[in-house]
């Protein structure tokens, strides 16, 4: 069954191509060929300010590019978020995008008029694809994947998104062609299934 899928490319570098871009393109191409509808949000190409206060988060008007991203997320049944692990977490630009996008009234309830337990993005699923220089098992077991868990639980899950799956791809700078191709095949497989 065809799905509506939004790919969020979270790499902040708009000038150079990275392995995470190739992974997202493999997913996109395979999903398109399988008949899924896709839209892409490339945060490196968006121009938006940082939020600097709670008042701005709660009551500010999102810029047009953020409203368009919200519409894409609202439209989607499944989100696929790609990003590189930087300093143990997501890049700052991706975090800034999520802060701008997942605001009260869109992803979070307006506490003046709605229950704090209302899940505004319920019914959507997600996959998070994280590339990193360290071995993925080391990130998962030694660092306990704390930043990934925060994204899953405190942002996506809190808004009602679930189930949330993950693909952790380690040692990307040291990977040989066979290992990289294996992950590209995996993304193609996930894309064709809309997972």
What confidence tens digit (pLDDT) does each residue in 112-154 have? 777 777 899 999 999 999 999 999 998 888 888 889 999 999 9
pLDDT at 175 over 70: no
As a whole number of angstroms, the distance between CA 56 and CA 31 comes to 37
87: left (phi over 0), alpha (psi -120 to 50) or beta: left
Q: Identify the residue with better confidence: 167 or 118.
A: 167
Going by C-beta distance under 8 Å and a sequence separation of 6 or more, which residues neighbour residue 122?
159, 160, 161
Please check whether residue 108 is in contact with residue 154, taking contact to mean a CB–CB distance below 8 angstroms.
no
pLDDT at 112: 73
What number is the average pLDDT over the span 158-164? 95
Q: Return mean pLDDT, the chain.
A: 93
CATH among 3.20.20.140, 3.40.50.360, 3.40.50.300, 2.60.40.10 for 4-193: 3.40.50.360
- Provide, rounded to the nearest whole percent, the portion of the chain with pLDDT above 90: 79
Q: Where are the chain's structural domains?
A: 4-193
Please check whether residue 93 is in contact with residue 45, taking contact to mean a CB–CB distance below 8 angstroms.
no
Going by C-beta distance under 8 Å and a sequence separation of 6 or more, which residues neighbour residue 106?
70, 74, 120
pLDDT at 49: 96
pLDDT at 109: 81
Helix (H) or strand (E) holding 84: strand 78-84
Nearest to 83 by CA among 35, 53, 43: 43
């Amino acid at each position: 069954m065809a799905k509506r899928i939004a790919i969020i490319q979270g790499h902040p570098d708009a000038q150079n191509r990275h392995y995470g871009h190739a992974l997202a393109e493999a997913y996109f191409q395979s999903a398109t060929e399988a008949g899924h509808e896709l839209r892409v949000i490339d945060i490196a190409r968006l121009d938006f300010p940082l939020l600097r206060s709670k008042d701005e988060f709660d009551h500010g008007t999102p810029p047009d590019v953020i409203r368009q991203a919200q519409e894409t997320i609202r439209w989607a049944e499944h989100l696929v978020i790609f990003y590189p692990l930087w300093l143990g977490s997501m890049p700052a630009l991706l975090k800034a995008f999520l802060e701008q996008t997942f605001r009260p009234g869109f992803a979070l309830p307006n506490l003046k008029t709605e229950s704090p337990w209302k899940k505004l993005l319920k019914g959507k699923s997600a996959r998070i694809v994280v590339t990193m220089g360290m071995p993925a098992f080391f990130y998962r077991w030694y660092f306990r994947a704390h930043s990934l868990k925060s994204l899953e639980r405190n942002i996506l899950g809190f808004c009602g998104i679930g189930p949330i799956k993950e693909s952790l791809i380690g040692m990307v700078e040291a990977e040989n062609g066979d290992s990289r191709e294996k992950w590209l095949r995996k993304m193609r497989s996930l894309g064709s299934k809309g997972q």
